[in-house]
Amino acid sequence: MTTALSAAPDRRSQAIPAVLPEPEHWLTRRGRELRVRVELLDAAADSGYVLIFGDLADARDKGRPPLVRLHSRCLYGDALESDDCDCGPELRLAMDLIQAAGVGILVYLEQEGRGEGLLVKAQGLRLSEDEGVDTFHSYERLGKTHDSRSFQAAACYLRDTLKLTSVRLMTNSPHKIKALTDAGLLVGRVPLETPPQSDRARRYLEAKQRIRGHELAEALSRAEVALHETEAALLKTGVAFTDAAEAGDALHDADRALHKADRALHEADEALHEVPGAPSKPDRYGRSTPRNMAWLLAGLSCVAAAVAAWLLHVSLPPQLPAAALGLAGFMFGRVVTVAGGKASG
């Protein structure tokens, strides 16, 4: 006996809803959910999408300007996770800050290759390899301008469509700040400084600072190097040593690295306070101390706390458990004290 199989419903024949659903939904990122609404930035040039996270009305009612990131599309950095530019790390850091705040705006602009497209970008990178010049000069060799992007359409959208009057702009670019201030917006800058992941990335950051006037704090880079050195020294104290002198040397190295990181963090703090657009205390427009410092301090706290917990479970020579745990406790307490001072200052 043959059983007839019922045909699957043809979804193409189903009627399109009379009212299309709103382009708004929940997004899960790093284990947490965030509400996002997508709007089209329909401009003749420099078009893209506006992603609104959280409740802008709630932020407006509280008088807190929203975090805003104007981000130009970078296939290599955003999707392929290239280490040779800062686009991907900056985007991820911006999203981390938005997610922590619970509300913010990402304007994702179709401006690949500083507005010239992926093909020109690839050609410029090849010229940079062959001739040993930065991509700004390789663009000149290709008959292109250093940067053909405009942020005017994005600025007008924030002002006219979203009805914003002030924002906290996550950027290192004075050109983005100028575009928004020219549109009549009050702008507080939130630096987005990420450590370069390769020599090419470092050279590119230096070229952006030299040619395009990007505001980068060298002291912050030194602080991040000191942070990694501290982490390595702390982790070394978690190894089971066979010689008391060897373990004592490791603890001494960890103590010295911690003080070095502390000094570097204070230098970075002072340097960032001198950067235009990066004031140290919140004002009536919601400008605040750069968040990178808090991230570094939080990183030190986490490392110190993790190693303190680890030392409780490893085998140290009989002569050293008290000293090791005492130093770990001192490190954790010192960093928490510094972090608390930064937060309150």
Tell me the catalytic residues. Answer: 147, 149
Q: Are 166 and 188 contacting, i.e. CB atoms less than 8 angstroms apart?
A: yes
Residues in contact with 47: Cβ distance below 8 Å, sequence separation at least 6, in sequence order = 40, 41, 109, 110, 153
Q: Are 213 and 146 contacting, i.e. CB atoms less than 8 angstroms apart?
A: no
The three-class DSSP label of residue 286 is coil
Structure tokens at 34: 């965030």
Q: Are 77 and 85 contacting, i.e. CB atoms less than 8 angstroms apart?
A: yes
Q: Are 280 and 274 contacting, i.e. CB atoms less than 8 angstroms apart?
A: no
Task: Report the distance separating Cα 45 and Cα 296, nearest Å.
Answer: 38
- DSSP string of 35-61, one letter each residue: EEEEEEE--SSS-EEEEEES-HHHHHH
Q: Are 44 and 150 contacting, i.e. CB atoms less than 8 angstroms apart?
A: no
The full 3-state SS of 7-24, as one line of letters, equals: CCCCHHHCCCCCCCCCCE
Strand order in the sheet with 67-72: 24-29, 32-41, 48-53, 104-109, 67-72, 166-170, 186-190
